[in-house]
């Protein structure tokens, strides 16, 4: 009798537990998911791009980058005071203003590290207007064509469509203006190429004419297209990087340079480029008497200082000049 009573009690308890678990699961099934209750609204949905006059970017392990709007557009103020690529800041702001939220990626802080949006891994992006902080954002991982984004102090992580991280995750050299020259090639009236064993000058009177060798330079089998292509390249010359700001010009091969290129424009305005030593990325160049020192692709730099072999078929033996 006692055994029967014990078994009955155990069976009753088990049944009650089963009913309780079933009720709990059914209730959980009917309850809305926490993420589904969160509005899928971009924190920058109402961003007025034109009102933003300061952008701060803090990448993990890097110095803070500060971009400020001037009358000529945004410029970098920290860690260097330099120009930046045209529309670099504007493209980031436009992307933020047009963000579309795909889903809610997380609602708890414990998931932040996995999504690379915790404070130690995320990119901090702060937008200011007239000294007021309007948005303090964290940009996390880019996965499955969405970028993790949250507001500072919030546990909620939103998955935004498209790659926002690539626009925010740009270092100083990537943001800096890489235009060495930016002139109208049709205004070029003379090109000079100076080196240890030569000084070549080519001229033209207007944009419709081909460059011809200047007085004192005799060229055989001259191909005008070689000068036209060089003029086009030089007019819109762009770097791929920069030397360190504190680098010694002697160590960079720029004092003295190994070659010089001069571009003379209509009206007599002259632009001179010094060509220096080589490094892993390319060759150091500098606008004469003007910082910074750029890095130019090796192939491009070599076109600006044609060697003797390239010119032998174009020049007579008696036409070698000296700088």
Q: What is the pLDDT of residue 11?
A: 61
Separation CA 272–CA 252 (nearest Å): 17
What digits encode the pLDDT tens for the residues 94-137? 999 999 999 999 999 999 999 999 999 999 999 999 999 999 99
* DSSP state string for 86-143: TTHHHHHHHHHHT--EEEEEESSGGGTTTTT-STTTSEEEEEEETTEEEEEEEEEEEE
Query: Domains (ranges, CATH) in the chain?
Result: 49-175 (2.60.40), 185-319 (no CATH)
3-state secondary structure 41-53: CCCCCCCCHHHCC
**CB 184 within 8 Å of CB 235:** yes
Q: Residue 116, by phi and psi: left (phi above 0), alpha (psi -120 to 50) or beta?
A: left
Q: What is the pLDDT of residue 88?
A: 95
What digits encode the pLDDT tens for the residues 24-62? 555 544 444 555 556 778 899 999 999 999 999 999 999
Q: What is the pLDDT of residue 129?
A: 97
Q: What is the pLDDT of residue 3?
A: 53
| pTM across the whole model | 0.78
What digits encode the pLDDT tens for the residues 279-298? 999 999 999 877 899 999 99
Neighbours of 293 (CB within 10 A): 21
What digits encode the pLDDT tens for the residues 78-90? 999 999 999 999 9
Q: What is the average per-residue pLDDT within 210-221?
A: 74
Answer yes or no: is pLDDT of 142 > 80: yes
Q: What is the average per-residue pLDDT within 232-243?
A: 96
Q: What is the pLDDT of residue 125?
A: 98
Separation CA 264–CA 214 (nearest Å): 13
What digits encode the pLDDT tens for the residues 145-157? 999 999 999 999 9
**CB 145 within 8 Å of CB 100:** no
Pairing of strands 270-278, 283-287: antiparallel
């Amino acid at each position: 009798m006692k055994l029967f009573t014990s078994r009955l009690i155990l069976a009753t308890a088990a049944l009650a537990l089963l009913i309780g678990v079933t009720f709990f699961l059914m209730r959980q099934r009917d309850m809305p998911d926490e993420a589904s209750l969160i509005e899928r609204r971009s924190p920058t949905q109402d961003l007025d791009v034109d009102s933003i006059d300061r952008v701060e970017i803090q990448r993990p392990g890097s110095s803070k980058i500060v971009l400020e709007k001037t009358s000529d557009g945004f410029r970098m103020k920290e860690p260097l005071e330099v120009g930046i690529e045209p529309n670099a800041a504007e493209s980031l702001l436009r992307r933020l203003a047009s963000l579309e939220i795909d889903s809610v990626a997380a609602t708890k802080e414990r998931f932040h590290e996995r999504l690379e949006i915790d404070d130690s891994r995320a990119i901090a992006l702060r937008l200011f207007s007239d000294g007021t902080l309007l948005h303090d954002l964290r940009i996390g991982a880019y996965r499955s064509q969405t970028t993790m984004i949250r507001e500072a102090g919030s546990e909620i992580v939103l998955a935004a469509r498209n790659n926002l991280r690539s626009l925010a995750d740009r270092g100083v050299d990537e943001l800096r203006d890489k235009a060495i020259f930016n002139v109208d090639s049709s205004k070029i009236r003379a090109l000079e190429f100076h080196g240890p064993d030569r000084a070549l000058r080519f001229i033209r009177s207007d944009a419709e004419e081909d460059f011809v060798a200047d007085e004192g330079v005799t060229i055989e089998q001259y191909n005008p297209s070689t000068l036209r292509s060089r003029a086009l390249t030089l007019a819109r010359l762009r770097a791929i990087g920069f030397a360190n700001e504190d680098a010694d010009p002697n160590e960079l091969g720029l004092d003295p340079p190994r070659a010089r290129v001069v571009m003379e424009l209509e009206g007599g305005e002259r632009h001179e480029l010094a060509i220096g030593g080589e490094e892993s990325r390319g060759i150091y160049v500098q606008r004469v008497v003007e910082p910074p020192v750029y890095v130019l692709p090796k192939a491009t730099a070599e076109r600006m200082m044609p060697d003797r072999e390239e010119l032998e078929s174009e020049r007579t033996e008696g036409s070698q000049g000296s700088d």
